[in-house]
Amino acid sequence: MRHRPRKSQARAHGGALDGLVVSGLAELALGALTGWPYALAIANPARARALGIRSTARMRQWHLDLIALGGLTVLAGTALPDMPARVKWPLGVGAWTNAMSFGVLVVAPQAKDHPAYRAGVLGSFVATSTGFVGMAGEGVRRWRRNR
């Protein structure tokens, strides 16, 4: 029977990554790609408008939020591998929905006043806050256990 390494051992040797880390990497990649339409919106506003970009400011927010939350998600999953699902899922879902809420406003700036949009953003903030606070709590628990 072949020995299977634990997740943390596999990760240290280039093996399996936590899904939260992969999610963050994908979010970072999308953030990098949104730099192109953002650059277009600055360099050629008329062309960007023809492609559907209605708000350059929201394009910038979307671009930066994807990068920031993607990076923080990678950091969280790397700093605290094997987080419990009650922390991992809200963090991953919240990071994506929080950033993507700006993407909606790129093409439909007026959506910010719609009750469904506001409810979605509220849910996103609850999920993101739950995830990051849960991550901090998990970090404290691990620190106490190992000191």
- pLDDT per residue over 47-61, tens digit each? 999 999 999 999 999
What pTM, to 2 d.p., does this model score?
Answer: 0.86
Q: What is the pLDDT of residue 32?
A: 98
Radius of gyration of the chain (CA): 18
- pLDDT per residue over 112-147, tens digit each? 999 999 999 999 999 999 999 999 999 999 999 998
